[in-house]
Amino acid sequence: MTVLIINALAVLIVQSVMGQPGKPELKKITESVYAYTGVPMGTPGNIFSTNAGIVIGNDAVLVVDTLTSVKEAEGFAADIRKISDKPIRYVVNTHYHLDHVFGNSLFADMGARIIGHVKCREAIISDGDKILENPAAFGLPADFWEGTRTVAPDTAFERGIIIDLGGITVKLIHTGFASHSAGSIIVHIPSQDVLFSGDILFTDVHPYIADGDLPGWEKNLDFIHAMNVSRIIPGHGPLSSNKDIEDMKAYLPFFDKKAKELCAKEKDVGKLTAAMLEVLPQRGGGDFIVTMNLQLRYLSENRDGQYRKQ
Ligand SMILES: [Zn+2]
């Protein structure tokens, strides 16, 4: 569906701020948790720089998000193998956006169970194949998705699930409120004092909000804040803390208010983007992401929440 394609496009240009662009690496966060950072995008100048990660238990490895293609996932899996030879038994999709799920097929072929929210599963089933048919729509080379298949979560949940990796328990939580997408979830590892937020948190990078439910998103940020976790691995950006959650919570209503004010007087998206960037906090990815947010959420006929279909 076009909506999903446009939504996914919005993550195309995001500056790499957690790792070096083009130098993917597993960064040790705690004894059992690593963040995978620095994965480059396949087009010149465009970087998803999506964070992924792993949790290692006594019996198994759990992967959090699988990047944008099976080729990227192959590099990820090879790097995992340098750290652990335990079976990769579980993959979690924090949400359905293409830069988080199109490595699923590699891990499924390795025997992993793919787990996500029911809304994430529905979106991937309905739209995944259509996206893979048209890499040019994302500025990607024709062979970018060679070997990549659509694989949706085979295990889906509404509110929560607990996964025991042996000595380490992982909690997958949906707060009951939509946020960055309707099926965006939190991955909490209590014993490690670590949380993967998926794209509920963007740190140092302008968030993609056109697909979001802003009031619900703020509730999700409050929920994470109240968990008081020391180390938060965001969907995009560096290792974060509650301070970054507070910044994100301030950003969303500020963006919404300013965008509504400006769009009431001006329709030229280039001028609007420049005006927004003057008042928004300094973050990466602005020209592209802010433009996309304005176009899809505030200038389109489908504006203001109509994109919350997933
Ligand atoms: Zn996303």
Whether 172 contacts 186, CB under 8 Å: yes
pLDDT single digits (tens) 141-168? 889 899 999 999 999 999 999 999 999 9
Query: From ligand 1's centre to the CA of 126, what distance in Å?
Result: 17
Instruction: Look at residues 93, 118, 90, 235 and name the one whose alpha carbon lies nearest to residue 176.
Output: 118
Cα 206 to ligand 1 centroid, rounded to whole Å = 12
Q: How confident is the model at residue 301 (pLDDT cuts 50, 70, 90)?
A: low
Cα of 275 vs centre of ligand 1, distance in Å, is 24
Distance in Å, CA 299 to ligand 1 centroid? 21
Q: What are phi and psi of 304, to 5 degrees?
A: 60, 65
For 250-263, b/e burial (b = at least 16 CB within 10 A) is ebbeebbebbeebb
Looking at residue 21, its pLDDT comes to 53
Other Cβ atoms less than 10 A from the Cβ of 225: the count is 16
94-131 tens-digit pLDDT:
999 999 999 999 999 999 999 999 999 999 999 999 99
CATH class belonging to 2-251: alpha beta
Q: Report the separation in Å between the CA atom of 9 and the middle of ligand 1, taken as the mean of its atom positions.
A: 10
User: Is pLDDT of 46 > 50?
Assistant: no
Query: What separation in Å is there between the alpha carbon of 48 and the centre of ligand 1?
Result: 10
Q: How far is CA 306 from the centre of its chain?
A: 20
pLDDT in tens, 60-83: 999 999 999 999 999 999 999 999
58 CA → ligand 1 middle, Å: 31
Q: What is the pLDDT of residues 181-208, one digit of tens each?
A: 999 999 999 999 999 999 999 999 899 9
Residue bearing the bigger pLDDT, 288 or 58: 58
263 C-alpha to ligand 1 centroid (Å): 24
* pLDDT confidence of residue 49: 74
- Contact (Cβ atoms closer than 8 angstroms) between residue 66 and residue 52: yes
Residue 41 has pLDDT above 80, yes or no: no
167 CA → ligand 1 middle, Å: 30
Beta strands per DSSP E along the chain: 25-28, 33-37, 52-56, 61-64, 88-92, 113-117, 155-157, 160-164, 169-173, 186-189, 194-202, 231-236
Cβ-based neighbour number of residue 20 at 10 Å: 12
Both tokens assigned to 175:
């707060």
Q: pTM score, two decimals?
A: 0.90
